[in-house]
Amino acid sequence: METDRQLVLSAACRLFHERGVNAVALDEVLRASEVTREQFGRFYASKEDLVADVVEVQMDRVLSTLEPYVTGMQTWEDLEVWGQGVLRLNEIAGLLGCPVGVIALDATPQSRRALEAVQRALNRWGKMHVKALTRLKERGVFVESFEPRNAVQFAGAVIQGALLLGRAYQSPGMLERNFSGVMTYLEAFRAVPSQV
């Protein structure tokens, strides 16, 4: 049985992903979770505190889906399989986009805790991928001039941009159409197969 806190988190994850943080009032989250404001106050001081926890939960979901693809990455073929994993995440999210990206759109400097949670979440995503691409570079999959951090930033920008556009235009194939640019970028730094 879910605790009150879990019920609130679950409802907030769904509602914030569907409509964005700013479009969802705290009372809507409480109604959807069937939790009173008094109960809410036992574990959160504000909606901003809830948003920060939602970001952590959503990034945990994203990373747990991608982790099997990333942690075992040893070859170019593994990288291609990772690409399929990214596209699989898009199928799961549908036209709603990235659950963390949606919150990032609403995070402002005034909502410091939420903004910091988004930054931590994106850093977690980035570190996991930099580590994997560094490992591939060390294995000779990429040329010496390849910069894993730059590649991860490029991939993140393409993925988030495509998910945002897909949500805005209600276009289900936006990520798939644009993700090929990530693979083309990586291919440009691929070592000659005989060197691998």
- In the chain, where the domains are located: 51-195
Structure confidence at residue 173 (pLDDT): 85
Decide which of 173 and 8 is more confident: 8
Q: What is the pLDDT of residues 44-61, one digit of tens each?
A: 999 999 999 999 999 998
The span from the first CA to the last CA of the chain, in angstroms, equals: 51
Q: How far apart are CA 154 and CA 163, in angstroms?
A: 14
Q: What is the mean pLDDT of residues 117-126?
A: 92
Question: What's the CATH class of domain 51-195?
Answer: mainly alpha
Q: Per-residue confidence at 89, pLDDT binned at 50, 70, 90?
A: confident
Which among 65-79, 92-106, 162-176 has the top mean pLDDT?
Answer: 65-79
Q: What is the pTM of this model?
A: 0.87
Q: How far apart are CA 15 and CA 11, in angstroms?
A: 6
Chain CA centroid to CA 72, Å: 19
